[in-house]
Structure 1
Amino acid sequence: MVDQMLQEDERAPAVSGAPPPSRALIRLAACLAGGVLLFLAFPPVELWFLAPPGVALLTLAVRGAGLRRAAWLGYLGGVAFLLPALAWVRPIGDDAWLILVAVESLFFAAMSAGVALVTRLRGWPLWVAALWVAQEWARGLFPVGGFPWVRVAFSQGGSVFTPYAALGGAPLVTFTVVLCGTLLALLTVRLTPRRFTGPVAVLLAGVVAVPLLGYAVPRPGDQGAGSVRVGVIQGDVPGQGLGFLGDEPAVVLRNHADKTHELARSVRAGQVARPDIVVWPENSTDIDPYRSSYAYGVIDAAVRDIGVPVLVGAVVRSPDGGHRYTRGIVWDPVSGPGAYYDKRKLVPFGEFVPFRDLLAKFIERVNLVGLQSLAGTRDGDLRMGPVTVGAVECYEVAFDDIVRSTVRAGGTPLVVQTNNATYALTSLPPQQLAMSRLRAVEHDRAVVIAATTGISAYVDPHGDVRWQTPERVADMAVLNVPVRTGETLATRVGALPEWALLLVATGALAAALPRRRPAPQQFSTEEEDG
């Protein structure tokens, strides 16, 4: 078995202070295979059940290794995982993709050094799982505001682990998936071909029980205030990649306005039900309607035609004209533009460029960002017709606190306006849909996604996708969506589970640091190992 060979390597006499190359290659192969398995758990492949064995291999690869070697192995495992998982960044440039992977893999290096430490302690499967939560927490904060993409939890949009989201949000889902993987690793350590021991039976039962116990997580039930009919408009864009806007101005705006007029004609013809509200995607107008009478007129005519409030995604200038906001505007058919929500979590190098003046000297592409965006300061609860929707803008769906605060402010259903035009037909849209599925379960809220190029979708409060569009087509629908008002335990307790797991990880590291590696001894599968 892999772990037996690795442990024998650590206890074998060293030659010139280094282990035999063949054993080092086993560690390397294990961490690379673990990274690949973890990638395959994510959309679009979506083999979610490969996440635990992927974690198991990554753990076994560094268990018993020195800290420096563990860090390097963790870095390479991170690269094996992130290189394909973040390949959707390539339309911006291969250099941006490789730099992002290189930076994010540093977190896996640090975590793996910690794993090498805490696997010297009894009960290490728990401590390793807590370290994964700590690694994802850190990635969500640093650098430049964090990048919490491809968290382990986001591979579980529709799996046996998903119900844990209603108990402790994404951090608890990550913890349980990783715990299942570390128990698999410990099972590998304890399993012997000679006999099936009692501890092995207990570990095997734990591997099975961890995912199945998720179904016992309490849910608030079907508390709610009826339903609402939501119209969704996907207008598509003329170009692709960084040039998705094309050469003709206002074409994206006209696409969405024309599709709204088409929806209005279908309603009058009795082909679809009349919506209570309509949602356009993020950046559905590429011209500021506050400053352009043309854009104002196009939007206003479409809203008046459909006759209900429309949530319009717009890029608007700040009052001084020197910055911009990514804004969702409630446009009323009678009174015009009213309440709005400004995106709070901005995309680094997409909506703002850190150290722009310096980077512009070396990377000309940073000038394509245009005006620097400013972040909003309030929650996304917006009154529209009969409901208060919870507005979430694109990238924000990856951030626990943004979605949670919007739900707590009364937003139901959640409405995710997104613009994935630059990344159309990559793995980004399905990965983002998986996040929305997890959020639906976490907060017991229906989630409606409106995207410029797809994937637009409706996710019910159980996390099931009830409707979705293909990409790169113009589409529309009217959806009957439940309005839930109950709160899950995850909504109520907020970040407490994450903070508790961070304390566990910190305590485990503190306990492991004073320890010294035990003297070499004969390897035995009978030894106490967790």
Structure 2
Amino acid sequence: MPASCSTPTPLLYFLHYPPLPMSNPRFVLALTPLYRLLLAALSGALLSLAFPSHPDHPLAFLYHPLWAHCALIPLLLVLKDRGFKAGFASGWISGLVWNLLSLYWVAYTQGGGLAVVGGTGLMAAYLGLFTGLCTGLFNVLAARWGAKALALLPLLWTGQEYLLSLGELGFPWLLLGHGQAALPHFIQYATWTGVFGVSCWVVGLNALFYSALVGRRIFLAGVALGYLLPWVHAQSAMTTTVPTEGLRIGLIQPNTTYIDKWAPNGLERTFSALATLSRQAAKRDPELLVWPETAVPCDPVSRASCRGRIQALVEDLDIPLLTGAPHANYNAAFFVQPGATTLPSYAKMHLVPFGERTPYRDAIPLLRDIDWTRLTGDLGPAEFARGTEHAVFAHPRHPFAVLICFESIFPNLVRQHVAAGARVLVNITNDSWFGRSAGPYQHALINAMRAVENRTAIARSATTGISLFIDPFGRTYEATDLFTPAVAVASVPVGQPATFYTRHGDLFAWSCLLIVLVAFVARFRKPRAVSKTAEADHDLEAEYDPETDRDPRAEHDPEVDHDIEADHDP
């Protein structure tokens, strides 16, 4: 029912009354371990709501990227006046819940056996370590500088996200900035900072909201500025004239599964479906046809009949074709052109850990001897070889590069393709493993951030969907549905100048790490001798000691001390 006119709105209430009692250290100490756990888990749940879900999810209406702007507040309440261990544990719990709720679809792969389900849990626990490290280190800084350490939290978070993107175990899927790709009118500065700058912005908003909630309302001005500046910048950037020059691309979505392709007569059925859809697309005059990852279950290099069938179709349609296909021990892509005798190719450079290759098997010989299938019963990596070279295909109109499957989640890898000369990016993938889940929607959204970072359009062809086009500002169009045969034909703009991020890479993330390093050096330097006045002030403040987990202020005479709730009298 409508509220009475005399009832203050939530915003007026928030602005009128002084800080909540949560800012009182004794309130924080009063939280039981169960409440601490629940608040940490709540942050993880809110973070998961900031990433796409499947549209048919019963709670799909709750999912929105704006949740990320306040999701860390419950966690920050738990972290207040705690030590490294407690901070690490709380952050790990948040990260665990977040990754479990957002990446549940990983358990669908390889048939969803017990080993895969268990591996999904282990993956979430591993990824949660990065969140825990961030919050634990934050508490170390807060022990020295108190609330001022909040200014370093966005940099700490950015640093741990950057570390998460490195190495063979790197999996930067749930970077906070990736979820914000659904808000193109706020993220255009990623052309300077990359996705890590967007993540830093999100954590900064959380810190400002938290400070306003438990401290001074003046921080709301910072929140307003935090939204206004990127929005103004985006309005200016997105009114830039988009080049009229373009490349018309036809995306083929055959809707074939792994079983369809590798069963008896699978090659014949697969090629028939691809050829039928390609002929439909050819009627709309594309300049490039794109088939998805491992579209054909044969090696066009070693198997002449496979190459012959593809080449014959290309000659008949007189349209160049990019297709995914296996080659030797590589997950590869081939560029087939009318009248050409050569067959340019690209081999996937970043392989899915444990799905396509055992991480660090080259560096650690012991890992080469592990029989994962025998050990787990239903899970074994394919042990593909890694590609080593960026490939830019020389299309007659515009050069382009290909990203195979989850290579699109790695900002630096994609940037290097564009820096090598690609003017269009093509992502080919097979997301059929993830079923009707959030996975394909999350994967498609991440591509939008890569487009913004490099001001480069992306065409995405997925075996079972979602196939779509993304303009240089991260706006998507011509998206297909999941698990249905489809054709999408559209032009992508070409000709935007190289961005700062494309030219220089992750300078912003490196700068964040450097500042954090300097902060820790300052944190552990021996402090100067303090004056007697300062010592007296310190005695009056009686700061909480994270090592003993006790608050001296809580040891006052109970008859003099007030009740916790009495500290706040509205």
TM-score (norm 1): 0.86
**What's the CA shift for 1:102?**
1.4
Equivalent residue letter for 1:258: A
Alignment of 1:314-463 (within 5 A): 314-317=325-328, 324-354=329-359, 355-360=367-372, 361-367=374-380, 369-370=381-382, 372-463=383-474
- Residue in structure 1 matching 2:206, options 170, 181, 187: 181
- State the partner residue of 1:25: 34
Asked if residue 78 in structure 1 is aligned to residue 95 in structure 2, the reply is: yes
Offset at residue 131 of structure 1 (A) = 0.9
Q: CA deviation at 1:172?
A: 0.3
1:161–1:176 contact (8 Å) kept in structure 2: no
Q: CA RMSD in A?
A: 2.6
Contact 2:431–2:465 under 8 Å retained in 1: yes
Q: Which amino acid aligns with 2:22?
A: Q
Structure 2 residue aligned with 1:7, among 13, 25, 28?
Answer: 25
- What whole-Å deviation, never above 9, does each CA across 1:166-215 have from its counterpart, x for those lacking one? 22111101000111111111112204xxxxxxxx22x1011122132113
For the residues of structure 1 that align with 2:49 and 2:81, how far apart are their CA atoms? 27
SS of match in other structure, 2:201: helix
Task: Show CA shifts across 1:13-49 (max 9, x none).
Answer: xxxxxx55x4433322221111111000001254100
Counterpart check, 1:116 vs 2:142? no
Task: From the CA coordinates, give the structure whose radius of gyration is larger.
Answer: 2
User: Hey, what's the Cα distance between the residues in 1 that align with 2:277 and 2:342?
Assistant: 22
Aligned counterparts of 2:502 and 2:384: Cα–Cα separation in 1: 29
Q: Distance in 2 between matches of 1:472 and 1:26?
A: 43
The CA deviation at 1:387 is 1.1
- CA–CA distance in structure 1, aligned partners of residues 85 and 211 of structure 2: 23
Deviates further, 255-264 or 495-504? 255-264
1:215 matched residue in structure 2: 231
Aligned to 1:282, what secondary structure does the other structure show? coil
Structure 2 SS opposite 1:163:
coil
Alpha-carbon distance between aligned partners in 1 of 2:21 and 2:179, rounded to the nearest angstrom? 26
Unaligned runs of at least 5 residues, structure 1:
11-18, 192-199, 318-323, 525-530
1:512 CA drift (Å): 3.4
Mean Cα displacement is larger for which, 257-266 or 334-343?
A: 257-266
Larger strand percent: 1
* Aligned counterpart in structure 2 of residue 258 of structure 1, from 258, 273, 286: 273
Give distance in 1, aligned partners of 2:197 and 2:275.
41
Q: Distance in 2 between matches of 1:68 and 1:25?
A: 17
Over 4 Å off, 4+ runs: 243-246, 513-517, 519-524
CA contact (8 A) 1:230 1:278 kept: yes
The amino acid across from 1:88 in the alignment is W
For this pair of structures, how many residues does the alignment match? Answer: 490
Displacement after TM superposition at 1:356 (Å): 4.7
> Which of the residues 503, 506, 516 maps onto 1:492?
503
Q: How does 1:111-260 map to 2 (within 5 A)?
A: 111-120=134-143, 121=145, 123-142=148-167, 144-159=168-183, 160-191=185-216, 200-201=217-218, 203-217=219-233, 219=237, 221-222=240-241, 224=243, 226-238=245-257, 243=259, 245=261, 247-248=263-264, 250-251=266-267, 254-255=269-270, 258-260=273-275
Amino acid at match of 1:113: G
Name the CA shift for 1:247/1:237 in 2 (closer, same or farther; >3 Å).
same
| Equivalent residue letter for 1:432 | H
Structure 1 pair 474/211, CA: closer, same or farther in 2 (3 Å)? same
Distance 1:417 1:211, change over 3 A: same
2-side partners of 1:289 and 1:358: how far apart?
31
Structure 2: 5+ residue runs without aligned partners? 1-18, 54-59, 110-115, 360-366, 528-541, 545-550, 555-563, 565-570
- The code of the aligned residue for 2:349 comes to R
1:430: how far off? 0.8
Contact 1:53 1:184 in 2 (8 A): yes
Partner of 2:68: 51
Letter paired with 1:365: D
Instruction: Read off the aligned partner of 2:333 and give its amino acid letter.
Output: G
Cα deviation, residue 265, structure 1: 5.1
TM-score normalized with structure 2 length = 0.80
2:493 is the counterpart of 1:470: no
Q: Which residue of 2 aligns with 1:67?
A: 84
C-alpha distance 118-298 of structure 1, shift in aligned 2 (>3 A): same
Q: Give CA deviations for 1:327-366 in whole Å, capped at 9, x if unaligned.
A: 1111012225522211111111121124252253412334
Q: Could you tell me which amino acid in structure 1 is paired with residue 34 of structure 2? A: L
Per-residue CA deviations over 1:224-263 (Å, capped at 9, x if unaligned) read 4701111111111145xxx564523544x74355334444
Query: Aligned partners of 2:83 and 2:526: how far apart in 1?
Result: 13
Whether the 8 Å contact between 1:446 and 1:460 is mirrored in structure 2 is yes
